[in-house]
Structures are given as C-alpha cells and as structure tokens.
Amino acid sequence: MIKPVLLWSDLLFFLLIAATFAGGWLAARTEHLRLAWRRVGRSRVAMAAATLLAAFLLIGVLDSLHYRERLPGDGENYAVEVRSALDALLTGLRTRQERTYSAPLATHLFAKESLEGDQGRDFPRLKHGGAHLGADTAGHGADLLAKTVQGMGVGVVAWLVLWLGFLPARQAAPHLAWDAVLATLFALCLVAGPVLLLAQGYHVLGTDKVGQDVLYLTLKSVRTGLLIGTLTTLIMLPAAVALGLLAGYAGGWIDDVIQYLYTTLNSIPGVLLIAASVLMMQVVIDTHPDWFATAAERADARLLALCAILGITSWTGLCRLLRGEALKLRELEYVQAARALGVSGARILWRHILPNVMHIVMIAIVMDFSGLVLAEAVLSYIGIGVDPNTVSFGSMINTARMELAREPMVWWSLAAAFAFMFVLVLAANLFADVVRDAFDPRASR
C-alpha cells in the first residue's frame, strides 16, 4: 500500500508537459507553425535528437511519480522517505550498497584493506558485485561477455517490438524522418540491453565513496537537470514576453522603465546574485522546519527556489530580443491599419505582434535549456546549487573533484555524470539548431 505524494516541482513539471502537448495541438491547427514543425520533422538530426530527449524525459517522468510506502502494522502510518517510480524500478541498484569505492563491473573493492585474522592487506570481495560467481572469480570475463551478448540480443528484440509499434505512426506521418528515429532507438536498445543484464549482478558504473551505485545516481540526476532546464523557462518566459513586447510597442516612459530594469539587473554579477538569493532561501528553510513534512519537500523547496532565481536572472536576454522585434513590427502596415481602426493596444499585442514573435520565443526556449542544465552543474559544483539530498550532475561532479586527487584516481563518477550531461546537452543543442533554422524566416533552408 502506498500513499501518492505530489511535490510542487512534480506539479509544475506535469503542467509544463501538458502545456507542450497543448502547444503541439495548437501548432497542428496553425498553418505556418505546422509547416515549420514539419521541416523540423523531416530533419534526421532533429528526430534523432528528439528521440534522445524523449528517453531522458521518460526517466524524468518516472522519477517525478512520488509516493510513500505504508509501514507494517495497524494504522495509516507511512514512511518518512519519499520514493519515486524510478526508485521502484531500480530497487536492485538502490539497495545493493557496498562499503566504499569499486570500479565499473568489478568484483572487489578499489582499494586494499586489512584482512581479518592478520592476513595482510588485499582487495576485499564486494558484497553484491559479482556475488553470483561465488568465491571463484575466474569466470568473471566470460560472464561479462556472455551477459553483454545476451543483452544485445534482448536489445535487438526490444527494437523489433518498437519497430512494429511505430509502424502505424510511420504510415500516418510518412514525412517524418523515421529512419533516424529507428536508428537512434536501435543504438539505445543495444546499450540498454547489456546494461540491464549486467546491472543485475554488477555495478555497471562502479560505486562511490559510500558504496552507492553510480548508475543509479546518474539516472536520478536526469530529473534534476530537466527540472532546472524546463521550470526556469516556465518562470522567466511570462516576464520576458510581456515586458519585451510592452517595451517595444508602447515606447516612451514605459520603454525607459523596462530598459532601466533589465540593464540594472544585468549589471549585477549573476553568480553573486544567485549565491545571495540561495543563501537567504536556505535561511528561510532552516528557520521554518515545520513547513516541510519530509526531507524531500525541503529539498524540493530549495530546487524551486533555485529555478526561480535562475529565471529572474535569465529573462533579460529574451526581453531585449522581443523589444527590438516589437519596435520593428509596430511600424508595419497591418499594425498601423489596426491602430487607425481603433483596435486597442492589448488586442494588437495579442493578435498581431505576439504570433509574429513566437519563432523567437520557441528558439530561445530550446536554446536556453542546455545553458540552464550546465548552469546547475556549475552552481552545484561551487556549493550554491541544489540541496545536498538532491542528486544532480553538479553534485556528482562536486563530489568527484576530491576523488580525482586519490591515488589511484577514482574517475568513474565524474565520467558518468559528464557522459550523461554531454548527451543531454548535445541533443538539446542539435534540436535547437534545427528549430532555429525552421522557425527563423531569415535562415537559409
């Protein structure tokens, strides 16, 4: 028996996903948007990147379905720890904890320890990694090879199932670059299959200082990166669009006030402003512990505060772009005609100017995503990012910096966080490039 838990970040994340689907429905009913997105769909690069982003989004959605388990015994008592559907799927990775560091796919700890009974120093056997091999690890290499081959076979079968599942969609929308989608899914299945089988008996990406599985921590970091990239956009977008269009269309003292506002904000060093805001928010959280029933709610509050702070400091660029575009559009003939006919300024902004700057908004949203993911990593690295209880790419990199000074060097935590973050940011950037070319009327096609 479980009790569903809806954190504020979960609610905003699902609302943003719903808004994305609503935007897709609106784009399908609008001719110029439909044509632009069709150009995106015909791009193999865009469809391959979108497939990777969809895989990351699936992980983020699973990690946003939170619940609390019911405690044994009578009564409606539930555990304090908040878990997610991803935690339930990765129970084996989450619960199989070692004493300390172990290398990827290893059967022994990474460092020598003193053995019991005055037997000298040696690499102790892992409690879970390779435990199915027994005391004799002579067949370690053969077991890895066998599981890898079996996993690739499972991946091929899963890809064939997906190929059949996408057949109706391919027939309904033949203009999309389905070959790129299927090729990307084939690569994902070939990687996921062996990882899935190997993870049942080994720590595929090793363990960290306290013995936690690095693969589990890396997958948990995906949600944090997605939330930082998406919720920050949700926070900064209304202010950037409203103030930018208002400044460009109205002009006069309104334009002067808005320009003064974002010029002043840009003159403040961003890192200092973010650090001061995060520390003030942390003081508020520490002085009001009764506001939060669980540690997850406390960490969620700091995550939302970080999103809000990043949103407050990142809206100025888009606002400046939209102001310049509105200055140009307000002088065009159809806007002048609407003004002469007595149409109100609010209606002109809504019906004539906003639709003509949506391509800039869409390009900015997609391109800002990768920058925000990297910003979280940098902020967590210097200690002003997410709560220590929240797993993120930045916190993994921050932890790994001390591990790099060890001899021998512990490299896998940093490599895992870097690899996943690199793929996520690269996919977002490639998709953003195609969206920019499709929606920018000045771009060559």
Determine, yes or no, domain membership for 24.
no
Specify if 12 maps to a domain.
no
Handedness of CA 77, 83, 86, 87 (dihedral sign): negative
In a domain, 15, yes or no: no
Distances in whole angstroms, Cα of residue 138 to Cα of each of 2, 113, 134, 150, 245: 43, 21, 10, 20, 69
Instruction: Let me know if residue 399 belongs to a domain.
Output: yes
Per-residue confidence (pLDDT) for residue 445, from 0 to 100: 45
Q: Does residue 117 form part of some domain?
A: no
pLDDT mean by block of 10 residues, the chain; 445 residues: 86 88 82 84 93 94 90 76 90 87 87 70 82 81 92 94 91 89 95 93 89 92 89 84 90 88 83 81 82 82 86 86 89 86 85 82 78 80 79 84 77 90 89 81 52
To which H or E segment does residue 44 belong? helix 44-62
User: What pLDDT does residue 147 have?
Assistant: 92
Please state the φ and ψ torsions of residue 207, each to the nearest 5 degrees. Answer: -130, 160
- pLDDT given for residue 161 in this prediction: 94
The 10 Å Cβ neighbour count of residue 273 is 14
Cβ-proximal residues to 149 (8 Å cutoff; 6+ apart), any chain = none
Which residue range is the domain that position 307 belongs to? 214-439
pTM of the shown model: 0.87
Q: Is 72 exposed, middle or buried (0-12, 13-18, 19+ CB in 10 A)?
A: exposed
**Predicted pLDDT at 297:** 85
In a domain, 426, yes or no: yes
- Indicate whether 23 belongs to any domain: no
d(CA 308, CA 235): 6
Three-state SS for 433? Answer: helix
User: Of 279, 325, 336, which is closest to residue 302 (Cα–Cα)?
Assistant: 279
Q: What is the CATH number of the domain that holds 415?
A: 1.10.3720.10
pLDDT value, residue 220: 92
Per-residue pLDDT at 444: 47
User: How many other C-beta atoms lie within 10 A of the C-beta of residue 288?
Assistant: 11
Half-sphere exposure of residue 290, counting CA atoms within 13 Å on the CB side? 0
Residue 2 placed within a domain: no
Res 74: pLDDT: 63
Domain count, the chain: 1
